[in-house]
Amino acid sequence: MGPPKNFKHFSKSNKHKKEQKALITQEDFYLAAIDCEEQADRWLLSDIKKCLRFYLKALEHYENGLTALDSTQEGKYNIYYNETRLFLQIYTDYLANNGYINILQYVKMDDMPDLSNLVLSLPQIIQRFEIVYETFPEQRTWDLQFNLLTCYLTLIESLDDTVSPTVAMEGADILTLTNKYIEIFQHLVNYLLQELQNWSENAEQDSDDTDTELQRDTLDEDAMQVTRDGSGIRTNGPVQPPAEVMDVSEQVTPSSLTEVLANSLKFNHALMELVIESKISNEKNVETKILNPIQINFLEDTTNKFYLQLCDIIDSISAAIPLDLKEIGLAKTLIEGLNIISSGTFESLQDFVLQTASFTDLLDEKDVQGKIDLSLIRVDIVEFAILCLNDYSSDASWKLSGLLTKVLTEARTLLTDYRNQILFLKNQTLNEQLSHVVFQLCDVLVNSSDNELRRYAIKESTEKSQKTPGGAHTLNILMKNANVFLNNAVAISSKQCGLQETIIDKLKRNYIHNQAKERLLFLQRLEQKSNEDDGTSASPTAMTFDMPPEHPFYSHYR
């Protein structure tokens, strides 16, 4: 639930940052903190400890700036906001990378006892953002609202963590958060539309002269160098020295509005998942339910209305403002898949995830990453459908796991071809994508192995009640496939991804390498123990990997 470094720095000219002087005023500490953050970013390729130490120094400067001389409301807002945004960046980059990976567990931090000062839980970060939002109504900027909405989205998505839920919320809290999200969203979208109202006019005015820059600097994204690293946070890149203070309105671009709309579709999707899961929990196990029936009905009605509102906004402005309809369309695809899971049949779901005609308008033929993103969305849809089943040994489970095999095969093919293309072309721009592609490919390989073992458990269960011709042969093939996928993941993730690979990406690759390796060792020990004990089902050892939720194979040995 994917994941950009997009926060506001109120960039000053470079001459201020180069001067070495005593820090006295609030602005001195503020600029020093920004400089430390930029120094931290420079160490991302080589030294994570130096990176984190600079972040700690930035935090120290922010704290000192709050009590410094010449304090102003504007200055306090800048510091409070940037400090909280830094906490969010640490959370999304290091504590919950890719939504769930704590990469700090792979780094020895014994010589950094004060690192805990940088680490806040997501609810604590949200509380700080809300305090800034309420305390400084005159200083609020659109990126504060964007990051607050990003926090709300991340919090709702974390309620459904497949590895280990990090946050617990009551149903009433979810409804309150939903109302907050929609209220801030409406205010933010109105502001962005107001800022972009001259986009179409300016585009027409400049269409006859391609060398003429846009009349509004607010729409020149190259000048702003807005950066994105997948975390959902907003920041400015470096700007040219002439502008002493960069006004917040100069950050607004059509891509800003696209992000807000796409994230809101994802928020709506996450709420829909909660509704479906709560309905299932009320049927299967009342003790695990999150929402009661009244809250389910209210949230279901709210998500339906919010989705229609989002679609109306997109349809009404897309002709005048060049939105990224691919990003929006991919988010819509997730919601369409949930609607089929909720009320459709297996055949309708199969038709939906395997068809290509309805997706051709979203993607350019050369958009490889877009095709990969779409294939991974199909995987997510089918995996969620499997989680919604009441009986994991049923015929429906066998059919859905077979469908998952098909979409995983497509994803593996696309990612393997893309990785080979990057390795063959040796293009610097493509090389920067190698580590990300490797992580995605190995993640799909691990999921493929998990799915083969799911099919193995289902087949084994049916074989106990009714022997079928070739049943044992099928079980052998499924187990062999599971091992092959894990061997491939271990081999691919063990290879370096070039000089452009950041420390964070290396640690993510290390994470998925360990997940594959520990699964493989588990299966090997299981086979060895089975041979020794003539087929006993006792657990060969404790599991040292993140087990998929309610997995019919691994759960048997837990």
Q: Where are the domains of the chain?
A: 1-168, 384-557
Of the candidates 404, 413, 414, the residue with the CA atom closest to the CA atom of residue 354: 404
Which residues are registered as beta bridge partners of 234?
A: 6
Residue 208's pLDDT is what?
Answer: 52
Residue 534's pLDDT is what?
Answer: 56
Query: Which residue shows structure tokens 């390989």?
Result: 445
Helices (H), 159-249: 171-195, 199-206, 221-224
In terms of pTM, does the model score above 0.75?
A: yes
Residues 541, 84 contacting (CB under 8 angstroms): no
Which letter does DSSP use for residue 6 in this model?
B
Other CB atoms within 10 Å distance of the CB of residue 1: 21
Of the candidates 352, 398, 391, the residue with the CA atom closest to the CA atom of residue 374: 352
Residue 336's pLDDT is what?
Answer: 94
HSE-CB for 134 with a 13 A CA cutoff: 7
Other CB atoms within 10 Å distance of the CB of residue 379: 20
Residues 30, 16 contacting (CB under 8 angstroms): no
Dihedral of alpha carbons 446, 448, 451, 452, sign? negative
HSE-CB for 481 with a 13 A CA cutoff: 19
CA separation for the pair 141, 247 (Å, rounded): 10
Write out the chain's pLDDT in tens, 558 residues.
333 334 443 333 333 444 567 899 999 999 999 999 999 999 988 899 999 999 999 999 999 999 998 889 999 999 999 999 999 999 999 999 988 899 988 888 888 888 889 999 999 999 999 999 999 999 999 999 999 999 999 999 988 655 455 567 899 999 999 999 999 999 999 999 999 986 556 656 655 554 444 333 333 444 334 443 434 555 544 333 333 333 433 478 999 999 999 999 999 999 999 999 988 876 655 555 788 999 999 999 999 999 999 999 999 998 889 999 999 999 999 999 999 999 889 999 999 998 854 565 667 778 899 999 999 999 999 999 999 988 777 889 999 999 999 999 999 999 999 999 999 987 878 889 999 999 999 999 999 999 999 999 999 988 877 777 788 899 999 999 999 999 999 999 999 998 889 999 999 999 999 999 999 999 999 888 877 765 445 455 667 788 877 788 888 777
Using CA atoms, how far residue 172 sits from 202, 218, 293, in Å, is 46, 40, 12
